[in-house]
Structure 1
């Protein structure tokens, strides 16, 4: 007698990520209570299970939901506001002044709705975010049904959100308490960067991270100037300073890491740190290129991040996979560097591992949450297809995503969001465009 399940998704191809380098053809995924209970040939699935709902995707690839390991979601409102500038000019002349005038609960909620909708439509089911007013981001992502880890941002100087480092922590921890039991929303401590956070604050963050068992999400070694300033002000490179302060460890997610010496890499590897690689943003801001192949060889979890839409200007992990693979080949002179399966693993399981969520998400594996991305393969401009994973990394972009599930709940159907309308999103975008123009 067939076993009842909530959902059966039949697909032409499934790339489960685990086991590695595997592509399954004409298989199905059975889901019950939001979790994957089986992946098996389609004919066997039809005989074994009776589903409340069956989805037939005869020209599709199924992958795990993508994990965006570094994002500033609310900055979607500032997409394209200040292009073609290096990092510090971009921050000091455009971004920080705009935030000082406009950042608010409404700004962050609306920007996070725009960003969350963009990410879900692009197959991203989990986001690791860092921004002010995390309660507003939580509201937006909760409405959309996006899984997220929200950063309790900490910086020394005042903003519209908080007055000093203690105030940032107090407000952020209150938000954590308010959302503690949410099934999709988690938290991290997010000191902005070594050049904006004091030793005293870092020591407190390290103690809180240990006490609350939270990840630490921080920009590190993004520019050569940042390192030169650290040598001038502290007599050591930022990673060495963080090591001395006790912040390096398996719970630390270092973002960018474009300027690393062998000694820096040794410190990161010794402590089991993770890296969020943001290739498009790093290239656009001319910040540099992270040595991803070396980091991966040393066993670090290296995931992919979009950064914010103000410096990218898309929240598209298909493009990040593509750019990461090509950039690795270019910088190493090795055409075999960072092959397609490894790039997809970075966009899924490696990001989950960095967040400590790899037992829950990151691969299509029995027992894990049913976070699933379905990708159409019926466009003649993108055919023929000899190797599906190659197409995912080198041919397709987010527009190929047709359907998305988070915890077994469908969030995108045939390219359309189910929780919010385009009319509302367009209204939000136009409202803030007019406000920022003024």
Structure 2
């Protein structure tokens, strides 16, 4: 593992002690951030000239189903029933090689967008070999990953029983989970009301494994609270219909909410993010389903910024507190800013995943997950706000360099070690198997 000196970048560290730097050097050694300072001697380190770039912690995507990547675009209309009615049944045609192909391509795609950690919520671990194939691809890509072995599965299943499926999940965690590497393993449990939901959560807790659950209906958290299921080791995904009372329950239990903007605003009530933030519930973000949208997490943050500012204005107008096209900012509105969103997608998500001792900020001693974004492609922002520039003025073409665990995965805007010809072959073979 080499040593690198990132020289002269405008740095947004997301470390409250360090703060921001107009120009900083960042020393990477043995996979860790060794130092961040205005000037550092390079020594034997390879120098990366980063003047005109913005350095920030790698983006963390908190919910993605990478097994879908080879079928990108299959569900352009998330408002319809195409996802549940037409797409998900295709899982019954898949084999482990399809999981590998999709995850290999999807993980590299995310790296190219500046994502250094992904929570890969795999609800296509429908038999022996599927989870293993996904994990093999994740490891080969070099992206940091929280592989979430989901017990949700299409039926008929390739396991003889749910007990066999759960035992397999336990073996996957025992074999692959190692926080000292790029691999963390969590569990995804069935939705509340499913006969196995409570048993899944108990199983995860027996193994000391955090779990995630999809929440779509009314009063779900209230009912879960009544059964003693809430806790900091359980993360909720979606949650469009959560009430303020339920958000208070989550805050008291130390729980987080993951919102997936492109999917969760499609024809649905979408005000839960603003309400959650104001009530102290940590909110994270994910791309969710590659069959619908590209795995570009910064783009999802941009969508959330625009949706939330729209909702903030609508709320103030609904209560007749303003009658102007654009209300003046208050202490509470707008709820989100570019800096707050990028903070939520870095150190905030690291905390929600219990990984903030290792990643999430450009803090000396943490693992070197670093994103360099070119800020001068078409002229730097006159506002001198690096977070606003990254969120509102850049595109994937501006991602110049991506480090994961101290290894360069993107250099000069190009993926390192990505075999595009192989990827095309994998995609074609997988689509032929699934679509015929």
**Structure 2-normalised TM-score?**
0.88
Deviation at 1:149, TM superposition (A): 0.8
CA separation of 1:36 and 1:161: change in aligned 2, threshold 3 A: farther
Residues 156 and 165, structure 1, Cα contact 8 Å, conserved in 2? no
Q: Assess if the C-alpha contact under 8 Å between 1:280 and 1:323 holds in 2.
A: yes
Deviations 1:301-323 (A, max 9, x none): 21111102113x11011111111
Contact 1:257–1:290 (Cα < 8 Å) also in 2:
no
- For 2:32 and 2:78, the matched residues in 1 are separated by 45
Bigger fraction of residues in helix: 1
- The answer for the alignment partner of 1:92 in structure 2 is 84
Q: How far is 1:410 from its partner?
A: 0.9
In structure 1, the residue corresponding to 2:358 is in which secondary structure? coil
Of 409, 413, 416, which residue of structure 2 is paired with 1:415? 413
Q: Does 1:217 align with 2:212?
A: yes
* Alpha carbons of structure 1 residues 10 and 83: separation in structure 2 relative to 1, 3 Å: same
SS at match of 2:121: strand
Matched with 2:114 is 123
Unaligned runs of 5+ residues in structure 1 are 228-236
The counterpart of 1:249, out of the listed 228, 231, 241, is 231
| 1:167-178 alignment, distance < 5 Å | 167-178=164-175
Aligned mate of 1:279, from 240, 248, 261: 261
Q: Report the Cα distance in structure 2 between the residues aligned to 1:127 and 1:163, rounded to whole angstroms.
A: 30
Is it true that 1:56 corresponds to 2:49 in the alignment?
yes
> 2: CA distance between counterparts of 1:274 and 1:339?
19
1:420 is paired with a residue of what secondary structure? Answer: coil
In the superposition, relative to structure 1, how do residues 168 and 250 fare at CA in structure 2: closer, same or farther (>3 Å)? same
The match for 1:350 among 345, 348, 351 is: 348
**Residues 145-184 of structure 1 correspond to what in structure 2 (within 5 A)?**
145-155=142-152, 158-181=155-178, 183-184=181-182
Give the TM-score normalised by the residue count of structure 1. Answer: 0.88
SS of 2:149 mapped into structure 1 = strand
The residue that corresponds to 2:311 in the other structure is 331
Cα distance in 2 for partners of 1:100, 1:21 equals: 50
* Distance of 1:263 and 1:30 partners within structure 2: 46
Give the whole-Å Cα distance in 1 for the aligned partners of 2:430 and 2:205: 39
Residue deviations 1:31-77, cap 9 Å, x none? 222111211003xx13xx51331111112111101100001011112
Deviation sequence 1:268-324 (CA, Å, 0-9, x none): 11211111111112124x23314223212322221111102113x110111111111
- Equivalent residue of 1:178, what SS? helix
Of 38, 57, 67, the match for 2:60: 67
CA distance in 2, matches of 1:119, 1:159: 32
Structure 1 residue 22: deviation in Å?
4.1
Candidates 100, 124, 129, aligned match of 1:109: 100
